[in-house]
Amino acid sequence: MGVLTRSGSVCYLGVQVSGTIPPKATPLRPIFGSMGGLCLSELRKTLGPVFRVKAAGRESTYIASPSLINAIYKDPKNFQFLPIRQQFTQDVFGIPHEISFSKEILSEYFPSHTRVLSPKGIIPILNRYVSYAHQELHATLGSRWDTTVALKEALLIPAYNAAARTFLGPSFPAEKTYQDFNTFNNAFHIITAGVPRFLLPGPYRAWDRVVSHVKDHVSKLRERNEEVTELVAMTLDECERHRWLGDNPSAMLAADLWALEANAIWAVYWTIVYLLQSPHGIAPVVAEIDRARENWISTHPSIPLTASTFPQFLEDSMADFPLLTSCIHEVLRLTTSTFSIRRVSNQTEFAGFEFKEGDEIICTTRAVHVDEEIYEDPYQFKMDRFLDGQNKFQKDGKPVPNHLMPFGGGVSMCEGR
């Protein structure tokens, strides 16, 4: 799963080397904050691109080179993501073992999920998102142009509400879940590190309340005669067919709410923050959008550009936003700290090291994103970094095709990308 860097990370600087297993970093001093990238660069310099780290009692192997990460992504038979997704479904989102590890979740539910978010399936969903985002921003900012509003309030809450309503339905009480969602999400890195449920009563109670809002919403959909969204319809249908009853359908939808909100709303926020802080501010991007709008209006003289035709404008004008696209890539490069995890399914040799079945491998895409050989001044935000040719991103004198991997890679690449 991807995590935008605002949560804790732990830094290790010591070294232990032994035989054919990757060198191990021993913890010297834990550092909390957004230092993950710096630490990883240090570790890669000291230990090489494959090293082991033990955190919260669990040892994982970190891979910090683009070519090795690519090799892992290309070998889903030996390096699997699905068992990790199943483990998360059970341990983090509380779906019982007999569902999380059922053969139906693998053969039916996950593939149906992929279909809902497929390039074709996502189009009506995206169009709805555009309208809801427009409505939410209007409701938050529309009447307040002459007052000062905290950027987080102005961006995160509308982005959260719009995404929640897009996927769960227009009557979903998104605003009632925002606080609890954050309480849970802020503890997510400790939860995934394996800290048991009883030590985190606050975050888990908050999550139970989110699930209960989803349950209440879903139970009232029929009596409200509201159109059921693609994701809700698919989930209810799968759960009914496999008799995954009780709280399970709502818990599964809430897990989706986590996946779709946890990173995306922060990407919106950081894009605006970095733009505002850059030397020319937001003006070059606004000018690009104005040009695209004028161009669209002149080529569609009979269609007024309104909230309802806005999705069409966006679809028609995709190629007209190179600077905005570059900004978004740059923000994802600079702020994501991805947990792209794979489990070793068979004993195997990789990069000169032995791995046994069950070993956990973490593709540290952030190490690639802040590699100074690939990116000049990697910790600086440069809005035009991705404007021209992708071949300029090189390492060891060769182009690095996978220089940007905020959504992971291979067959388990993020479905929401």
Binding residues for heme: 414
Question: Could you say which residues in the range 89-148 bind ligand HEM, by CB under 6 A?
Answer: 117
Q: Considering only 42-50, 191-199, 300-308, 401-409, which stretch makes contact with ligand HEM by CB under 6 A?
A: 401-409
Looking at the Cβ atoms of 43 and 361, the one nearer to ligand HEM is 361
Question: Could you say which residues in the range 298-337 bind ligand HEM, by CB under 6 A?
Answer: 336
Give the count of alpha carbons within 13 A of 113, CB side only.
20
* Residue 71 binds ligand HEM, judged by CB under 6 A: no
Looking at the Cβ atoms of 24 and 335, the one nearer to ligand HEM is 335
Distance in Å, CB of 110 to ligand HEM, minimum: 7
Of 10, 260, 285, 367, the residue at the interface with ligand HEM (CB under 6 A) is 260
* Residue 264 binds ligand HEM, judged by CB under 6 A: yes
* Residue 263 binds ligand HEM, judged by CB under 6 A: yes
Of 81, 160, 258, 386, the residue at the interface with ligand HEM (CB under 6 A) is 81
Distance in Å, CB of 221 to ligand HEM, minimum: 20
| β-bridge partners, 4 | 336
Q: What are phi and psi of 408, to 5 degrees?
A: 75, -150
Binding mask 1-40 for ligand HEM (x = CB under 6 A): xx--------------------------------------
* Residue 160 binds ligand HEM, judged by CB under 6 A: no
Q: Considering only 86-94, 242-250, 316-324, 408-416, which stretch makes contact with ligand HEM by CB under 6 A?
A: 408-416
Q: Considering only 208-216, 243-251, 257-265, 377-385, which stretch makes contact with ligand HEM by CB under 6 A?
A: 257-265
* Residue 407 binds ligand HEM, judged by CB under 6 A: yes
Distance in Å, CB of 414 to ligand HEM, minimum: 3
Residues found near ligand HEM in the complex (CB under 6 A): 1-2, 81, 85, 117, 259-260, 263-264, 267, 336, 338, 340, 406-410, 412-416
